[in-house]
Structure 1
Amino acid sequence: MTAASALTGLAAGEPPINFAAHQFRAGNMAGARDDFEQMLAMLIGAIHPGARLIAANPGDWGIDVLLGDLSGLVVIWQSKYFWPAVTRSRQAQIRESFDSAVAAAERHGYAVSRWVLCVPSSMDAPTAQWWDNWRARRQRETGVEIDLWHETNLRNLLITPDAAHVRRHYYDPYVPGEAPRAPVRSLASDSDAVLDACLFVRQLRAAGHTEVGAAKREFFNAELMVREITDKGVRAELAALAESDGLVHGVWEARFNEIGERHPANPRLPGLHAAVMGELRESGAFPSMLRAGPVHRCGLMHRVVEDRRAGWVRHWRTVADEHGAVA
């Protein structure tokens, strides 16, 4: 496989690499951290033959992936599954990881020539400024070259020919070009009126959304899909539906926490709905057995809101409680 063919494959309709896939594969953030670290070990090994993963037992000497011998000069890659962005709250962990690696080298008699922080996201502006200043200062103080592999670097590496097997294993568990389960259906006027009274619509209104017609259509089509799957009772399809429910809920939770931190004084959490739905529309992590198109995927998110497990404002639980009291 050539670099040109890899890029052609992306242009032909393969979804972009989504690092949230580690959460969906593992089912929780702790598992996602381990899964991301395993992916990095494979990726670095493909680029630098001889690189190896260092197990924590109980400590890892500040090393996740190592190139070189622990009797001489080494390169260290540090895996940090910071998602969905690297913010100010992560600065202490970055400092501690680097300091731990340098201290372990001094203690055990080897030298670190390069230290690479690997994250599946990007830094916000204040953190990027902090990183640039901290990196320059610590390089001067220690003589260690400090690098950053963020989400763009990692994607560029993953689409190279040498890393094709890593991408296939971690990010391509789908069948490209498969049609949605059924054509998207329009709402009848009576259905539109019924959906007006639903909790997912009330949550959208609470967030300031004036137009909710597309959301109703998404919910309606997801309901049809779920009914079809449950009526047929095919075990693999039911499992795919359960996995997809966890997937959309996980995307919402990650974005809710991110935007809540970014807008601590705004109860409406601006941009939350757009961020979640945009990620769901483009995600390549949905199980192929579901055969769900973008409309159905977004509808599954509205079902989670309707089930009182999510919302679009900071006080979404209060909105749900008030809705239940009225109903």
Structure 2
Amino acid sequence: MVVSVIPTSDVLFRRLEFNAGTVAGARVVFQTLVTDLIALRYLAANEVSGPGGGDWGIDTYVGRLDQSVVVWQSKFFLSWTGEDQRQQVRDSFKQVNQKARAEGFDLDAWTLCVPCILSPAEQKWWDGWVARQRRENKVKITLWNGLELRRQLMQPDAEILYKRYFVDGVTSPASLSVLTPDDVSGFNDALFVRQLEEAGMLETDAARGLFFAAEALARDLASGGNLAGIAALRELHLEVHALWETEYNARISDADANGRLPRLVEDVLLAAAGCDDPEELRLRPAHRKGIVHRLVEDSRAGWVRHWRDIAGSHRGRAASEVASELLAGTVDGGGS
């Protein structure tokens, strides 16, 4: 049966964030949705990938990057309030224009895709900005706002996409990628790393990545105002903390001369990975393991008998500061 009536755009696209559980996850899903809609018209629709802005400002494109392309830029703006969104649009268009000149391909057309509907003032700004860019750069620029995207989803050939993204719920948190940084050396002086080293762990890169994944998740829930998700994450922290406490207490009598507790790290991480998620939040095992390292970084747990002494005397740089810098470099507010 063809879908003829679907929710208004403001309700419709908020489902992506609800299903994904995080703003970052919803960005990924939204870009994929846009690409799938484009593919209904152009079977050759493609994406490129590159960390830290290495995607040349291209989310979806049709054409050849050694000749000419038509580009779609996805911005998961549930609301467009003013200068912040304007600047992101300017930056994205500027980046792809600069890459076109530097890499020798023609940018024939550029379409901005957003799930919101602009206010009169912001639509006026957009119309003026588009007119200037068309004169200066000779590029056709269009807007797919929430209303246009909703219209496209109502077309008979888009019924399968509507069901996939908004009805069947396949865009659940369990299907999302775990956000990880390319370089984890910034965590060298973090407390959770020192605690691992005190326990005799020589290699800690994976632990750093797990911490970052959980930290990024927590920040996305907070920045998106996802109160249910925030409460669920707190509950999960409590559950994981209880797991650690049980394992730690069971091993105190087995501590060696250096205060190390046999298999404490391995068993706690394994138990955390299999921990049940609260109803409001479904995560990957990597997120749950990362919660363990967040607890250690927050001086609520440790890996040796004298972990409290280590936490009390530690003067290294806070891992949260490092994560902030990494997020600024890897999450640019675009379609990724």
* TM-score normalized by the length of structure 2: 0.48
Q: Normalized against structure 1, the TM-score is what?
A: 0.49
Higher relative contact order (CA 8 A, sep 6+): 2
